[in-house]
Structure 1
Amino acid sequence: MASDFDGEIDVPEPAIHIIDDSVLATIDTSELPAGTQAKSLNPHGASYWTRTARLLTLQEDGSEKSFFLKVSIGQRGKGMMSGEFASMTAIHTALPSVAPTPIAWGTYVSDPDIHFFLCSFHKMSGELPEIERFSAQVAALHRAGKSPTGKFGFEVTTFQGNLPQDNTWCDTWEEFYIRGMVRMLQLEEDCQGRCQELKELRGPMFERVIPRLLRPLETGGRKIEPTLVHGDLYYGNASTDLRRLLFIRSQRVYKILAQHTTLD
């Protein structure tokens, strides 16, 4: 069965060769350092769902400074760019040292179907971070990023790849986890068609298995504090620049941090 989630997002290649007026407007509205002038835009890096580029600018003092531009297409692409800006802002606010600086997101003037996300540029080493340092930074993020509502969820929809997550604010980890599983199973059915075996497993899983595993964590005087997690933390979304560890391509939400169970 065909689905909107099959295949790559077909972002036109010219979208990362021409500096759109919307990106120039970001410069004009002082989202970038005063006196910044756009110089060139060239493809940089690789992404399955988007196109990415390096925006080279000329600073007021004559020096050059680069920024990272990511573009996507359609309503889903718009949600992806909005979600990445919001989630990157959340982690940069909580722990600035491990995230690129988010600058802006918006829609191209030349093509209203193309949307962008702009952040600071970092020259990556291509090496995996050292494990002790990496683990310490993940723990620091969990400690620093407290949920602003005291609930599990996030303020906007974020995406796993090109798949939208259900980030509805929930009072309990059990409720949030079930909502996420329901969304993933529905996306699987939309893409692959109905599976009788999965259909038969849904009831026992949602009514018995998940409650038995998760409910005890929040009953009998026990409590879980929702905190910020990356949400998609694997080797492709963490690397090092020439100076420090960076988490990239995040879909952060306020999920779970307990002494014995951490999502990241």
Structure 2
Amino acid sequence: AFPIKESKLISILPQDSSLLGQNAKILVKLPNGSSEYYFLKIATIGTTGSSLCEGEYESLKAIDSVCPGFVPKPYGWGKCKENGEDAYFLLEEFRELKTKPADPATLGKQLAELHQKSQSPTGKFGFHIKTSHGRVIQQVDQWDACWASLFGRHLSHFMDVAKPVFDWPEFDRLCDLTLERVVPRLLLPLQENGRVLKPSLIHGDCWDGNTANDAKTGNAIIFDACSFYGHNEYDTGNWRASRHKLSNGEYIRAYKSIIPPSEPVDEWDARNILYSLTFNIGNAVYIPGSDQREAVFHDLAFLCQAYCPDFSSLSYPFPVIEVENKLDIY
């Protein structure tokens, strides 16, 4: 059913498809005789599509309640049929896009506003349901006062998805060491020595393809969200990869001019590498032709060598890794 009762479908205009399903711009006639466009997304990835559509619906609803207009307004989601197979749909407001991605100044300002204004309903990190980063159902539906604990579970699930795909014993060992040593070493200090870390509502997958400037207002708009309440810096982890236009230093400088790095400031870049892992693992596992498998391995090796003092004595025969594309935060 459409948001306005007794609306009638006039036409369906297919839009760009994705690895997850089909998209369409649909035109409906309203009871008063006027017409309205909506955006329809159909996920054809089995039962994961349920988490994808429900998670995005709840994510957009949460973001819209804090920053109206920053996302398309969501209207509903549910189960449907596509070519005779079970599928899931999400119906939302149609927004005409101008430029993609959004320009640095407007995106940085509006994303920072979301992070600053949002308030966790429990005062903790997490979300009230699982959300889905592509085909990976995120383990974020357990409220936790400790960000290191929540992020550790979140990252661990991505690693569990990747291990059988990579089939690389050295990768498995680096993953385990990262969870055991690096995550607590880098993230626990955010909430120690009197430091308070605010759980911010994050987009969850902010990259070039999920942001644009609105054709009517010129403001930034974000979509395809898989949100939860986390450390605000997590949203910029996806800006590190050189494959993204958001890796342009103007984006991170625009953002941090409003929200500076958390203390300890000198560990910002290492946290950025850590936060980039989920995005790059997802890319490596599910994007055809991805070159991120080795990049993820190198980042893991760098973090382990930098933050595990006894790394060299742990029988990890890895070379010293030089990290490229360090983001300028000063």
Q: What TM-score comes out, normalization by structure 1 length?
A: 0.82
- What is the CA distance between 1:192 and its match in structure 2? 2.8
Report which stretch shifted further, 155-164 or 91-100.
155-164
Q: Which residue, 28, 33, 56 being the options, matches 2:4?
A: 33
Q: Which runs of 4+ in 1 moved over 6 A?
A: none
Give the one of 249, 256, 259 matched to 2:224.
Answer: 249
**Alignment correspondent of 1:260:** 261
Deviation per residue, 1:12-35 (Å, 9 max, x gap)? xxxxxxxxxxxxxx23xxxx1344
Give how far 1:236 is off: 0.7
Q: Aligned letter for 1:173? A: W
Deviation at 1:234, TM superposition (A): 1.0
* Cα RMSD, aligned residues only: 2.1
Given that 2:163 and 2:171 are in contact with CA atoms closer than 8 Å, whether structure 1 keeps it comes out as no
Q: What residue number does 2:94 align with?
A: 121
Q: Deviations over 1:136-172 (max 9, x none)?
A: 1011110122111111111111122211111022221
Cα distance change of structure 1 residues 115 and 137 upon mapping to structure 2, 3 Å threshold: same
What's the counterpart of residue 24 of structure 2?
53
The aligned residue for residue 85 of structure 1 is 57
Distance in 2, Cα, partners of 1:37 & 1:70: 18
Which residue identity lines up with residue 78 of structure 2 in the other structure?
G
Aligned residues: 234
Among residues 136, 144, 149, which one is paired with 1:170 in the alignment? 144
Structure 1, gaps ≥5 residues long? 1-25
Between structures 1 and 2, the one with greater helix share: 2
Residue 228 of structure 1: SS of its match in structure 2?
strand
Q: Tell me if the contact between 2:163 and 2:172 (Cα under 8 Å) persists in the aligned partners.
A: no
- Contact kept, 8 Å, 1:142 with 1:228, in 2: the verdict is yes
Q: Which has the higher relative contact order, 1 or 2, with Cα contacts under 8 A spaced 6 or more apart?
A: 1
Q: Is the 8 A contact 1:224 1:257 kept in 2?
A: no
Matching of residues 56-205 of structure 1 within 5 Å:
56-73=27-44, 74-108=46-80, 113-167=86-140, 168-193=142-167, 195-205=168-178
Distance 1:108 1:69 in 2: 12
1:171 & 1:131 partners in 2: Cα distance?
Answer: 32
Give the TM-score normalised by structure 2. 0.66
One-letter amino acid matched to 2:164: D
Percent identity over the alignment is 28
TM-superposed CA distance for 1:86, in Å, is 0.9
Which residue type is aligned with residue 84 of structure 1? E
Q: CA deviation at 1:48?
A: 2.1
Q: Which residue of 2 aligns with 1:14?
A: none
Partner Cα separation in structure 2 for residue 107 and residue 45 of structure 1? 21
SS at match of 1:91: helix
- Report the Cα offset of residue 207 of structure 1: 2.5
